[in-house]
Amino acid sequence: MTRGKIIDLFIDNTAKAAAEPVRISSSDELNGVLARILAGSDLIFCPFVTEQEKAIKLSPDKLTRDYTAASACVEEVFAAVAETGSLVWTSQGGKPVQAGLVCTHHVAMVSEESIHETLDDFFSSLGDSPPTNITLETGPSRTGDIEMTLTIGVHGPSRLTVIVF
């Protein structure tokens, strides 16, 4: 599959999983898009570990270092998988993976190059020693435990935005 088709497949599947994909043409647009998406959030957490994360600009009075207090969490993925529309988070670089779990709105930044076509591609890219903690996130947190009625945002975030750049 061509890179273009892989990206399309990823965006398609991430939408099917009830995430909100946003595609931008370059990382220059990121700050503008982030500002728009996060306009309604009062406190935002960002790990500021990756280069891309360090490059984003968020209004300082909204930023917090305490992820348990944040309503939104913005971070760059470790990888993504087109086959399932999944985001991959790992504990590498000291990232608190649980930050994206406890917020209400999780915002994921995904570079086009980081998208693997299949689960097999992703797992074989890990080699012999995988990071201690890997989480594949596919859509927001949900349950159907009462009468099979879908409820979004049990434990985890109720909203997942995926920005592909």
Partner 1 sequence: MSDPVTGVPFRANAIRALSDSALRAAMRNATETFATKRAETVSAVPLEEWRDQASDLRLRVLDHLSDYVDLFERNATRAGAKVHRTEGAKEAREIIASILRGHGIAKVVKSKSMISEEIHLNDFLQKQGVKVVETDFGEYIIQIAGEGPSHIIAPAIHKDRRQVGKLFAEKLGCEYSDDPMVLAAIAKKILRKEFFSAKAGISGANFAIADSGSIVLVTNEGNGRMCTSIPPVHIAVLSIEKIVPSLSDLPKFIRLLPRSATGQILSSYMSVITGTRKPGESTGAEEMHVVLLDNGRSEIVKGEYREMLKCIRCGACLNACPVYRLVGGHAYDSTYPGPMGIVLTALLDGMERAHPLLDATTLCGACGDVCPVKVPLPRLLHSLREQRVEKGFTSRLEQMGMAGFGMVAQSSSLFNLGQAAAHLLWPIARKIGPKDSLDRIPRPVSKTFRKIVS
Instruction: Give the residues lining the site for partner 1 (CB under 8 A).
Output: 13, 16-17, 68, 84-86, 91, 94-98, 101-102, 118-120, 123-124, 126, 128-149, 151, 153-156
- Least Å distance, CB 125 to partner 1, is 10
CA distance to 33, 53, 118, 126, per residue, from 107 (Å): 11, 12, 22, 24
- Least Å distance, CB 91 to partner 1, is 4
- Least Å distance, CB 160 to partner 1, is 9
* CB nearer to partner 1: pick between 13 and 114: 13
- Least Å distance, CB 136 to partner 1, is 4
Q: Which residues of 2-21 are buried (b: 16+ CB within 10 A; e: fewer)?
A: eeeebbebbbebbeebbbbb
* CB nearer to partner 1: pick between 21 and 139: 139
Q: How many angstroms separate the CA atoms of 139 and 149, rounded?
A: 17
**Sign of CA pseudo-dihedral 102, 105, 111, 114:** positive
* CB nearer to partner 1: pick between 29 and 121: 121
